[in-house]
Amino acid sequence: MRKLKVLDLFAGGGGFSTGFLQAKENDLRFEIHRALEINDSACDTLRNHIGNARVIQGDITDESIKFEVINSCKDVDVIIGGPPCQTFSLAGPARSGSKEMREKLKDDPRNTLYKHFFELVSLIKPSYVVFENVEGMLSKKTDESNRLNAKQSQVIELVCDELESIGYTTRIEESLTERFQVVNAADLGVPQQRRRIIIFANRFGVDNPRLVSNTSKHRDVKKAIGKLPVRLPKITTNRLENLINIDKILSNYTYCLEVFSGYFRELAENYFDRNEDLVILSKTIETDVQSIKYHNSDKVNHLKDFLERYNRLVQELGINDKDSSDMLISHQSRDHNFRDIIIFILMKEGSNSSKFMNPLSDDYDEFLDELYPYARNKHKDTYVKHSWNKPSNTILAHMEKDGLKFIHPDQPRTFTPYEAQLLQSFPKDYKFFGGRNDQYRQIGNAVPPLLGKVIGEAILKLEFTRKTKIDNMVVNR
């Protein structure tokens, strides 16, 4: 078995590397020779999966780190990676913007990361290079034909020109002009809508492979995470009286309590076969609600006591420990406040706050419109509740902040790190190191392993075809 050696730059939590290790073509495979990453937790994750000796931790701009990479990777066959997208939001203005803009960006360290990427490529000279990045390098807008607009193309052409200037071919098969491709990971089997730019480059002067999209490969959220055990959030009670729009809750006190109680009654019915303790929880909540819902005084303290009893009961019943294992250690919900819990419950599956605040939408809800706690002159789609029967929205590193754009289809919480991991197509037993926020960041920034696998298989097929032709030429001489 022949293995192509891979150098993974900006390796993060190892999504790209994991996909390449899964790829195979006849007797060809990949081995991750080295992975370069600066973040502590991500490096711990990488060490756990590819071994300590293969991980180089450090800053790509550091000359000593660069020397270590070059010295240890002289014979690698493939370099993969994508500099953080901030770099490319600056690359265009740095080249073609106003004088003031160029001066402002000149000393921004993010503006040099891509240069170091290409410097390593030019010095190591691998046979193949794969560059991956976000679709909107300059702007998030695309036209209706799903082609990038002219301003974006300038940045992408800059990348292709750079690769060709150091001896690589970026041309794509079946085209005389295309040098990059935009793919949606969902079309390649990842249970997530995730559009990314991919640039293949090789030193052999041959056309690069085209990744073929197929919407029939779409996997929905339910197939990815639908069989996981129930996880319930702890509901925060600290400073409940200061919660934004708590007055809306208190003026609709009975309604909110009945919404909460009714939700858990339905949850117990739907998930009884997986967690019978949900019935105990549901009945206890219902009894508690009946005893406090008509209190007209001191509602905040009554509500606080009620929520603290809920938290204690969830813990005592061990609901969040059911079916637990080392594999599911990261399958735990972050804490949420009561206002958000009510919003999560009342939102329709597949809807968002922009819809429930729009009187012209079928999803409009007057109470939710009143309860919405954020400024309306900015983003209105702060809350997004996913659908069971569709791929998820793009999993983002922003999940470390609040996760409100990633509300579970029928549990009153946002996605756990483990659910995000599966929606990114990481293996079920893949372990991320660091705290919850570190894990969300690594997962959200990763190349989905399944996308990496498809890219890797395309390179292996190209290499196998190229090597076979060479062997045949030798035989026929």
Max distance between CA atoms of the chain, in angstroms, equals 96
Question: pLDDT, tens digit, for every residue of 377-436?
Answer: 877 889 999 999 999 999 999 999 889 999 999 999 999 999 999 999 999 999 999 999
Phi/psi for 219 (5° steps) reads -115, 135
C-alpha distances in Å from residue 280, one per residue of 174, 272, 290, 379: 62, 10, 16, 40
C-alpha distances in Å from residue 292, one per residue of 81, 258, 336, 407: 57, 11, 22, 28
Instruction: Pick out the chain residues at pLDDT < 70.
Output: 85-112, 137-154, 476-477
The reported pLDDT for the residue numbered 100 is 57
The reported pLDDT for the residue numbered 273 is 86
Quickly tell me which residue has 């809920």 as its tokens: 310
In this structure, what token pair is assigned to residue 129? 């290079």
How many distinct helices (H) and strands (E) make up the chain?
18, 9
Catalytic positions: 85
The reported pLDDT for the residue numbered 77 is 98
Question: pLDDT, tens digit, for every residue of 249-301?
Answer: 999 999 999 999 999 999 999 998 889 999 999 999 999 999 998 888 899 99
State the pTM of this model: 0.91
What residue ranges define each of the domains in the chain, with the CATH number in brackets?
2-220+449-476 (3.40.50.150), 227-387 (no CATH)
Quickly tell me which residue has 């999560």 as its tokens: 344
